Amino acid sequence: MSKHFGQVIAVDNISFEVGKGEIFGFLGPNGAGKTTTINILCTLLMPSAGEATVNGFNVVNFPNEVRRSIGIIFQDPSLDERLTAYENLNFHGMIYHLPSKARKARIEEVLNIVGLHSKKDYIVRTFSGGMKRRLEIARGLMHRPHILFLDEPTTGLDPQTRQHIWEYIISLSQKEKITIFLTTHYMDEAEICQRVGIIDHGKIVDLDTPGALKNKYNVSSLNDVFLEATGRDIREEESDEKEQLGQFLRARSKLR
């Protein structure tokens, strides 16, 4: 599969498979093509060439079937901050066609999972970063997806919250047999993955179990594997106009 934006090649002829129930880590420096790949797999973007299949459905031909199969925790927040936690979950359940009764029961369930039950009637804007993340995870689980995409789910969180979130994700994959596809910049977090793929400049440079990769590069940590595989140069991530504006507005609303 490849993806071009005009002249820029964001994803360059990559090919991989993730097994059912697997925890798969997708690692790479900023601008390597991780988010573009996730956006294609969750039907927000079309591949320029090649094809992708999620839960047995081709992302181009059967986008709605793919959308029903997946849950996503985006890199940037995607909650409605003016609604309460409960409303966010309830609306999510509605668009995934959970019947009213099942929806209410499931909301209670996921709120307890992420420990936000006591905050359910609070407006999301009053939440801390960690609480918002937990709410997003709860929302991603509402409709019992087969595959959960986590795009840097712990960025900007304190170690306690990170720890809590990962423990939960591991138990989730064990209990509910959900396939987990995650990206992260914290290499120690990637250790929980059964396999990791390392992407750089749009190409997959390595893909194996964390243990095998450490052996291959003869180093002791995934962090060193990552540096060996992708080099030590600092990357520039292009921030388009839209993103800058979003950041500006977010900053402004915080000042108020």
Partner 1 sequence: MDFDAIRMIWVRDLIRHFRDKVRLLGSITRPVLWLLIMGTGLRAAFNVHGISYTHFIFPGIIAMNLIFAAMISTISIIWDREFGFLREILVAPIPRSSIVLGKALSGSTVAFIEGLFVLVFAPFIKIHIPLISLLLLLPLMFLIAFVCTSMGIVIAARMTSFEGFGVISNFVIMPMFFLSGAMFPIDNLPHWISFVIRINPLTYGVDLLRWNTLGIKTFALYIDFMFLAIFSIIMLGIGVFEFSKTN
Between 209 and 253, name the residue whose CB sits nearer to partner 1. Answer: 253
Question: CA dihedral in degrees (242, 246, 249, 253; nearest 10)?
Answer: 170
Q: How far is the CB of 13 from partner 1 (least distance, A)?
A: 19
Q: Which is nearer to partner 1, 64 or 220 (CB)?
A: 64
Least spacing, CB of residue 252 vs partner 1, in Å: 11
In Å, the largest CA–CA distance within the chain is 55
Q: For partner 1, which is the closer residue by CB, 134 or 139?
A: 139
Residue that is written with structure tokens 């750089």 in the block: 200
Give SS3 for 183.
Answer: strand
Angstrom distances, CA of residue 16 to CA of 43, 171, 197, 238: 17, 25, 9, 26
Length of the chain equals: 256
Q: Which residues fall within 8 angstroms of residue 64, CB to CB, at 6 or more apart?
A: none
Question: Measured from the CB atom, is 68 or 104 closer to partner 1?
Answer: 68
Question: 169 near 14, Cβ under 8 Å?
Answer: no
Nearest-approach distance from CB 87 to partner 1, in angstroms: 7
Q: Which residues bind partner 1 (CB under 8 A)?
A: 42-46, 64-65, 67-68, 70, 72, 74, 76-83, 87, 91-92, 94-97, 139, 241-242, 245-246, 249-250
As a whole number of angstroms, the distance between CA 133 and CA 164 comes to 12
Give whichever of 215 and 247 is closer to partner 1, judged by the CB atom: 247
Nearer to partner 1 (CB atom), residue 95 or residue 170:
95
Output the smallest distance, CB 124 to partner 1, in A.
10
**What CA–CA distance (Å, rounded) separates 73 from 138?**
9
CB 106 within 8 A of CB 93: yes
Bridge-based pairing state of the strands 195-200 and 203-208: antiparallel
Q: Minimal distance in Å, beta carbon 118 to partner 1? A: 22
Query: Considering the complex, what minimum distance in angstroms separates the CB of residue 53 from partner 1?
Result: 17
